[in-house]
Amino acid sequence: MELNTHANWDMTVFFPEFGGKEHLDFTDKMESDLNELALLTAELKPIGPETAEAWVEAILRIEKIIADRTHLGCYLHCLAAADAQNEQYAAAIANLSRTGALFSKALAPVDALLKKVDDDDFEALLSRRALDSARYYLERSRQEAKWTMSAELEKLAADLMVDGLSAWSRLYDNVSSKLTFTMPGKDGPETVPMAQKRSLLDDPDPIVRKNALVNSNAAWDEVCHVAAASLNAIAGTRLTLYDRRGVPHFLDQAAFDAATTRKTIDAMWRAVDKFRDIPHTFLKQKAKLIGRDRLGFQDISCPLPGPTRTRYSWSEGAHFVQSAFDQRYPALGTFVREIFAQRGVESEKRPGKRPGAFCSTSYKHPFSRVFMTFGGSLNDIQTLAHELGHAWHGYLLRDVRPLSRMYPMTLAETASTFAESILQEALINQAPDNEEGKAIRRSIVTARLNDAAIFTCDIHMRYLFEKSFYEERKAGQVSPTRLKELMLEAQETCFGDTLDPNELDPLFWASKLHFYISGVSFYNFPYTFGFLLSRAITSLAQKSGSEFFNKYEYFLSLTGQRTCEQAVSEAFNMDISYEAFWAQALETIQHDMDVFDATV
């Protein structure tokens, strides 16, 4: 099958037309189902032999609404990302937030009763045939129910979320999507959408990179009071609810959402601290190669000077990914050909798009939607592979019941980063044995080491900043000036003496969308978690034959039904709760350093 590299996705497979009959009927039916669910759960009695049937019915209705919400949410968020200034899309997303509040309110009586159920009655409920494979979801629901207020207060909190935390997140999205900055052009200053900043930071020209950071930050500085207000409101709301719900520490909720433990997270960061000299050595060598004593923040992921092509067409980038997957992991290659045939990827570079890249999945459609702005860099090609790894993960779970498909970000990032590693290995192995091939290998191993620096330094910086911010936010509002200070402190801790102290990024907290996502806090450590876990899995794959991919797909099948620790142990017989596991994964980075040293 020829690869279809259309740069715009097709969303009509979800609904033929936004605002059309199918879309509106689906929305109305979902809201009707929500109202019926609320009536049903309001009448629920404590779990026991006489009430088991009613509980099974309620759980199945909850499951249907979860699937419907992923379908509608995927559709609307994709439309809004591709046309971020469309007010109709924004209004539809706001309504989706309202229905989310209705759903939370309908679940409040369920949580209140789960909080009190005894073990025997709970086990009897789980033994029902209709709830086969839903055990993990229900056990987590019971565990999380312990961190809830009364049903009435939870309903109030759900109502307030619509015009509170979620509204602040939408405000940030609105401001960021409309924000522009100026860049020098041939005929004078040019206005550039903020969504294109990422590609400019990958430019081989150091002047372009510095202008991109300085000028984009000048734009962010103009609205940093809005970003700070949003950040403070989002964190303040969370902290207030954590206190009222009895969550012991703000990191406990983040760890629970990631289906791991603070013990495992701490073990990972301890190992990162001990092995940081490897990425630091790379960053210092990189500085010398581009003619600097130290890198600027804008140079962290920059390409190295040399004859390597640094810009690729969209068609070239898509074919690179396709070829890599075909050779190493044919099943993934076949899937990618199919998702392109479905026009499941949006990559066009144009104004009005939301910054960043993502993969969005509906539980009612087998093919996810991948969003990015392709600027032609090697980093953009890796991003494509990364997001297609997410899409493959969702596809493998297409026949799994919705209650067992909700995998955590930690394991999601493992699948995507593993897909990136396949691309990188293929490009290295395919490089010809000449100067051109040497340049290609250097580019790829540089990209891998860039990743290592990002995941062990940059992501840890984000984690430390957010942790410090939440600790200070408990005492009150944190000013934009103080937010800049906290960010600089985190950058200095994680990057050490590798960066020029006069070229840091004090406004990273404002420009990074991840800090403003309403549905999850600490949208950072799962990236390092996934990166290192994927390094460990890749190392295992290199020592195994084709049978490895059966284990890998089994592992992915477990991700919505096990904790991170359980899934890795069951599929690969590895214990991730100890520092030694993460240290072994970090040791693999030294191999990349050795290859890098041989190519420079």
pLDDT, position 529: 96
User: Is residue 506 helix, strand or coil?
Assistant: coil
User: Is 480 among the domain residues?
Assistant: no
User: Is 69 among the domain residues?
Assistant: yes
Residue 263's H or E segment, with its range, is helix 262-274
Residue 83 has φ and ψ, to the nearest 5°, of -140, 75
489-500: string of b/e by CB count within 10 Å (b at 16+)?
Answer: ebbebbbeebbe
User: Is residue 476 helix, strand or coil?
Assistant: coil
User: Is 500 among the domain residues?
Assistant: no
pLDDT for 7-38, tens place per residue? 999 999 999 999 999 999 999 999 999 999 99
Supply 538's token pair.
């890749």
Asked which of 126-135, 348-357, 387-396, 556-565 is least confident by mean pLDDT, the reply is 348-357
Q: Higher pLDDT residue, 355 or 525?
A: 525
- In the predicted structure, residue 581 carries a pLDDT above the cut 90: yes
Residue 389 has φ and ψ, to the nearest 5°, of -65, -40
Closest CA to 81 of 386, 348, 265, 307: 348
pLDDT, position 1: 60
Among the residues of 398-547, which ranges form H helices? Answer: 409-430, 435-453, 459-473, 480-495, 508-511, 525-543
**Over pLDDT 90: what percentage of the chain?**
77
Stretch 85-107: mean pLDDT, rounded?
91
User: Is 433 among the domain residues?
Assistant: no
Q: Higher pLDDT residue, 439 or 351?
A: 351
Work out how many domains the chain is built from and give that number: 1
Closest CA to 347 of 75, 6, 84, 4: 6
User: Is residue 395 helix, strand or coil?
Assistant: helix
User: Is 376 among the domain residues?
Assistant: no
CATH number at residue 101: 1.20.140.70
Q: How far apart are CA 314 and CA 332, in angstroms?
A: 20
User: Is 96 among the domain residues?
Assistant: yes
Q: To the nearest whole number, what is the mean pLDDT of the chain?
A: 93
Stretch 509-535: mean pLDDT, rounded?
93
User: Is 259 among the domain residues?
Assistant: no
User: Is 122 among the domain residues?
Assistant: yes
Q: How far apart are CA 197 and CA 177, in angstroms?
A: 12
pLDDT, position 310: 59
pLDDT, position 340: 96
Q: Which domain holds residue 29?
A: 21-163
What amino acid occupies position 256?
F
Residue 307 pLDDT level (bands cut at 50, 70, 90): low
Among the residues of 86-223, which ranges form H helices? Answer: 87-114, 119-126, 135-145, 151-163, 165-178, 197-200, 206-222
- In the predicted structure, residue 596 carries a pLDDT above the cut 60: yes
Contact status, residue 82 vs residue 353, Cβ threshold 8 Å: yes
